Structure 1
Amino acid sequence: MIPAPQPSRRAILGLAAAVPLSLALGSGSAQAADSAYVMAYFTESTTMLEANYGLHLAVSRDGLQWMPLNQNNPVVTPTEGALGLRDPFILRKQDGTFVVLATDLKGTDWNYVSQYVHVWNSTDLRTFTGYHRLKLHDMNTHSWAPEAFWDAGRGQYALIYSAVNSSGHNVIMVNYTTDFVTASAPQVFFDPGYDAIDGDMAVGVNGVNYLYFKNNRNGTLIGTKSTSLNPGSFTPFSTAVSHGGTEAPTLVKSLSSGTWYLWGDTYTPNGVFYAWQSSDLAAGTWTPVDQRLYTQPLNSKHCGIQPITSAQYDNLVAAWGAPAWNRLKSYNFPGRYVRHSNYVGRIDPYPFDPYPDSQWKLVPGLADSTGVSFQSVNNPTRYLRHYDYELRLDVNDGTSTFASDATFHRTAGLADATWSSFRSHNFPTRYIRHSNYVLRIDPISTTTEKQDATFYVGY
């Protein structure tokens, strides 16, 4: 919840693997019919232009590339407490329905204290019922980053969260519940003796339970393990990982391989997903995952992810709708996206504001409907066109020259056929590429040029 060394904001994950994934989250193992994923998150951006503290949803077929629903607007917003949420988490309960948990906090007022967490019930994540806040303790401290898992030995759900203990530092607390309406008295679940927040569980992996958390002193993610689920039984064991200060660890397992993924988010509003992978969760060692393999929802922060069925995926898209816009990621600079800045086409590091500079409507080509033109979302009278071979954002003047300059033909990616490249309509030997981060059209021949001219069209 807070930027270190202050209180922390748990962050966002994106799933990454070369194959479809199944999640091993606090909710337990995925069901056999699951073939897609839903993500819950809130949004912030560098200047807080996109600061929205309602519940946002995105879906993914493969756990890699995420599609925001409802045009990246919230699907429901709290009506009690701070009137906003952070750190949403989705749990599929034992009866197959869902519960959504979230921190009772709007914005970045880290001095706001709430002993409650937000709770919604849902049968399908299209409608949300039974909204209430659940009080977890009477202490003069927060209840941040709630997650939950099924403790079969107790026959109850364990609801874990971050709070300050009597020694003055954050620990992972736990309450037990059967219905998320009433809960047991709080207990300390894990306390390493220093500020620890953002607990995430993988339960029953070869007879071992794993808890990952953020070391809030230095912004690293650390794993602990125990053969039981008892409070106080977890012992740190893993190598610490970080990417310039990271929080919100989330463990993900691939169903089709033995690979595990550990996700984290950089704190501050500039939240960016990073991921590490391991072939052996018990080893506790991790290597970075290539950013080309995943794309987080625009401006998403501190998410929770839950496996769903293909029918549930289709129903969510039918209910909330797919985005009317796209974003384009650079192949050889996957942390950069195509945008306009001062009406110049370029690739810049994500995130940035104004964030709509990177949103494009890919419309039928102005000169040839079999091609494509890039219409700006925040300047809808303007399109990307080439002029002296450089791309800029200009107002459509209705001429045939403009239409031709603003029309491109989408092809298989020159560096990766699963990505895309864009050939100029009126200069068919030239493709859109970046050079010194500025977009232009050039003939393409070398390996580097092919990479410069390859983009992922996502959201």
Structure 2
Amino acid sequence: MSARPHSGPQPSRRTILGLAAATPLAMTGVLSLGAGTAHAADSAYVMVYFTEANNLGAGTDYGLHLAVSPDGLNWTPLNQNNPVATPTAGALGLRDPFVMRKQDGTFVVLATDLKGTDWNYNSQYIHVWDSADLRTFTGYRRLKLHDMATHSWAPEAFWDAGRGQYAVIYSSVNSSGHNVIMVNYTSDFVTASAPQVFFDAGYDVIDGNMTVGVNGVNYMYIKKNQTLVGTRSTSLNPGSFTEFSTGVAHGGTEAPTVVKSLTSNTWYLWGDTYTPNGVYYAWQTSDLASGTWTALDQKTYTQPLNSKHCAIATITTTEYNNLLTKWGAPAWNRLKSYNFPDRYVRHSGFAGRIDPYPIAPFADSQWKLVPGLADSSAVSFQSVNYPTRYLRHYNYDLRIDVNDGTSTFAGDATFYRTAGLADAGWASFRSYNNPTRYIRHYSYALRIDPISTATERQDATFRVGY
């Protein structure tokens, strides 16, 4: 439940003209998540999330957002990072969406009934949608979970095979005044059993995330004292889970999401920081039972722009391709620095530089990579929020200027995309009219320079993504 109060009892995210765009998967073969009810043919991932940006200004939307990824680490927001569904009852907004493939192969989406940051808004309900393929969302309704004068935060669900029902877990305040993880059981997400306490640590815990059936053990990660902590049980019975792991955090961290690689024996743990425009961090382990995690290099993953409190599910190649076809990849890109991977290319005061994410206003870091103004086989960087301006060099410094239509401007604003000088899987950009020079950062400012040293090669390497 992103951006809630930090402590004490809680109140009652194809190459065209040289740019990276999402490409349809061409994977084949049988892959399995090894937990839950993932299909044997799953080979990609879908993420659901909401957005908060610019201190709850432009870019903030409490609707259901989707992104897809072939590797579960780098994400392509769909529908231009706009919502694909919005609640029409209750608070008329959502937080903390969750997606799960049901036993019949279709999907269900759950979410907190809350719009914005009114933590005193107490809803006994959660939002629910059905979806055959995540291209349409039907049967919108709210599911009542309890009659208590408290909230129903961060709902998630899992299949309890022993009961032959789905368990819906969520955070509510109990009679002792602290948050516990509650559970209701349902067969249809239309009606549910009476609530029970699923996990009570004796102090405030929220954001339960379940991984079922890994070598006979079930795992639930929670937020405790601003860290992500694991619990486990050999059963799925309420009251059976106990803490076991070393807590991980990057500052104040919440919203744990555990997902397994589809191509290796690697597990990833995602966590979200509190603030609007929060930052995701990720950890990995090859042994879920160990309860120890190693921080991932931020070069290896990129959250969807402005994303908050995500959930991730596995999907098939066909579903991945169909989602891209239906909703489309963004018309813009972001460029991540190779050696400062928390920073992205942006303009500030019309000067080009790299700054840490989140960037305000976030549109300063969005670029349309268009055919080069001087050579259509190259690329020019058109500002999204100043569309008459392009990134160009002037006395070797980079800035965004209005295109004056001259050949000099066109040459200054045109670059050839090459394999990354520090990593061939990334990208570097060579100046059209100063062909011995490449775009690089120096003291975080962008310029074009000759490149010779290892440090300079890293300074001149960027990931083109979203």
TM-score if structure 2 supplies the norm length? 0.94
Opposite residue 189 of structure 2, the aligned amino acid is F
2:110 to 83, 101, 106: 101
1: CA distance, partners of 2:437 / 2:91: 54
2: CA distance, partners of 1:360 / 1:175: 46
Structure 2 residue 44 is the aligned partner of structure 1 residue 42:
no
Could you list the per-position Cα deviations for residues 404-446 of structure 1 after superposition, in whole angstroms to 9, with x for gaps in the alignment? Answer: 0000000000000000000000000000000010000000011
* Structure 1 unmatched runs, 5+: 13-19
1:263 to 249, 257, 270: 270
Q: Is the 8 A contact 2:37 2:103 kept in 1?
A: no
User: Counterpart in 2 of 1:202?
Assistant: 211
Structure 2 residue 120 is the aligned partner of structure 1 residue 111:
yes
2: CA distance, partners of 1:339 / 1:229: 48
Structure 1 runs, 4 residues or longer, greater than 4 Å off: 6-9, 20-25
Query: Residues 255 and 317 from structure 1, CA distance in 2 versus in 1: closer, same or farther, beyond 3 angstroms?
Result: closer
Query: Is 41-50 or 400-409 further displaced after alignment?
Result: 41-50
Q: How does 1:127-146 map to 2 (within 5 A)?
A: 127-146=136-155
User: What's the CA shift for 1:271?
Assistant: 1.2
Structure 2 residue 12 is the aligned partner of structure 1 residue 5:
no
Structure 2 residue 459 is the aligned partner of structure 1 residue 457:
no
Q: Is the 8 A contact 2:333 2:465 kept in 1?
A: yes
User: Counterpart in 2 of 1:74?
Assistant: 83
User: What's the CA shift for 1:61?
Assistant: 1.6
Secondary structure of the residue aligned to 2:325 is helix
Opposite residue 7 of structure 2, the aligned amino acid is P
Structure 2 residue 258 is the aligned partner of structure 1 residue 251:
yes
User: Counterpart in 2 of 1:214?
Assistant: 223
User: Counterpart in 1 of 2:186?
Assistant: 177
* Structure 2 unmatched runs, 5+: 14-26
User: Counterpart in 2 of 1:15?
Assistant: none
User: What's the CA shift for 1:254?
Assistant: 2.0
User: Counterpart in 1 of 2:290?
Assistant: 283
2: CA distance, partners of 1:221 / 1:421: 37
User: What's the CA shift for 1:52?
Assistant: 0.3
Secondary structure of the residue aligned to 1:249 is strand
Q: How does 1:34-433 map to 2 (within 5 A)?
A: 34-49=42-57, 50-215=59-224, 218-433=225-440
Q: Is the 8 A contact 1:24 1:202 kept in 2?
A: no
2: CA distance, partners of 1:256 / 1:307: 12
Structure 2 residue 449 is the aligned partner of structure 1 residue 447:
no
2: CA distance, partners of 1:270 / 1:74: 17
Query: Is 139-148 or 301-310 further displaced after alignment?
Result: 301-310
Opposite residue 95 of structure 1, the aligned amino acid is D
2: CA distance, partners of 1:39 / 1:22: 18
Q: Is the 8 A contact 1:22 1:253 kept in 2?
A: no
Q: Is the 8 A contact 1:405 1:424 kept in 2?
A: yes
Query: Residues 8 and 436 from structure 1, CA distance in 2 versus in 1: closer, same or farther, beyond 3 angstroms?
Result: farther
User: What's the CA shift for 1:39?
Assistant: 0.8
1: CA distance, partners of 2:286 / 2:69: 23
Among the aligned pairs, what percent are the same residue? Answer: 78
Secondary structure of the residue aligned to 1:357 is helix
User: What's the CA shift for 1:257?
Assistant: 2.5
Opposite residue 37 of structure 1, the aligned amino acid is Y
User: What's the CA shift for 1:74?
Assistant: 0.4
Q: How many residues align?
A: 446
Could you list the per-position Cα deviations for residues 176-225 of structure 1 after superposition, in whole angstroms to 9, with x for gaps in the alignment? Answer: 0000000000000001110000000111110111111000xx30111111
Query: Residues 169 and 119 from structure 1, CA distance in 2 versus in 1: closer, same or farther, beyond 3 angstroms?
Result: same
User: What's the CA shift for 1:256?
Assistant: 2.9
Could you list the per-position Cα deviations for residues 215-272 of structure 1 after superposition, in whole angstroms to 9, with x for gaps in the alignment? Answer: 0xx3011111111000000110100111001001111112332222111111111311
Secondary structure of the residue aligned to 2:288 is coil
Structure 2 residue 40 is the aligned partner of structure 1 residue 32:
yes
User: What's the CA shift for 1:323?
Assistant: 0.7
Secondary structure of the residue aligned to 1:282 is helix
2: CA distance, partners of 1:241 / 1:23: 23
Opposite residue 6 of structure 2, the aligned amino acid is A
Secondary structure of the residue aligned to 1:404 is helix
Opposite residue 362 of structure 1, the aligned amino acid is L
User: What's the CA shift for 1:6?
Assistant: 6.0
2: CA distance, partners of 1:22 / 1:297: 25
User: What's the CA shift for 1:3?
Assistant: 3.1
Q: Is the 8 A contact 1:221 1:241 kept in 2?
A: yes
1: CA distance, partners of 2:281 / 2:429: 28
Opposite residue 188 of structure 1, the aligned amino acid is V
Q: Is the 8 A contact 2:43 2:262 kept in 1?
A: no
1: CA distance, partners of 2:270 / 2:37: 18
Q: Is the 8 A contact 2:151 2:172 kept in 1?
A: yes
Query: Residues 8 and 48 from structure 1, CA distance in 2 versus in 1: closer, same or farther, beyond 3 angstroms?
Result: farther
Q: Is the 8 A contact 2:9 2:204 kept in 1?
A: no
